[in-house]
Amino acid sequence: MTDFERKVYQIIVNMHLYGKNPTLNDLKRKTGKREEDIRAAVKRLLMKGELKWDKEKRNWIL
């Protein structure tokens, strides 16, 4: 896991602990990165199995 992937993952975990799903704008604001970079990092985390998305509940599964 790269440093940026770890940062995105940690933001998602921390917000999940408080019952929130981070939006793309939240991730852009907290990381200072472009949308394309964030989408690529989340996609890699999903492919590695670090994150899963529940489509029905619209919630991250950690």
Q: What is the model's pTM?
A: 0.88
Domains of the chain: 3-61 (1.10.10)
Phi and psi torsions of 53, nearest 5°: -115, 125
Answer yes or no: is pLDDT of 54 > 90.
Answer: no
pLDDT band at residue 47 using 50, 70 and 90 as cut-offs: very high
Q: Per the structure block, which two tokens stand in for 26?
A: 């939240």
User: Which H or E run includes 3?
Assistant: helix 3-17
Q: Of 9 and 60, which is predicted with more confidence?
A: 9
Task: Please indicate whether residue 62 or residue 23 has the higher confidence score (pLDDT).
Answer: 23
The pLDDT value recorded for residue 36 is: 96
Q: What's the average model confidence in pLDDT over 54-60? A: 87
Q: Are 37 and 4 in contact (CB under 8 A)?
A: yes
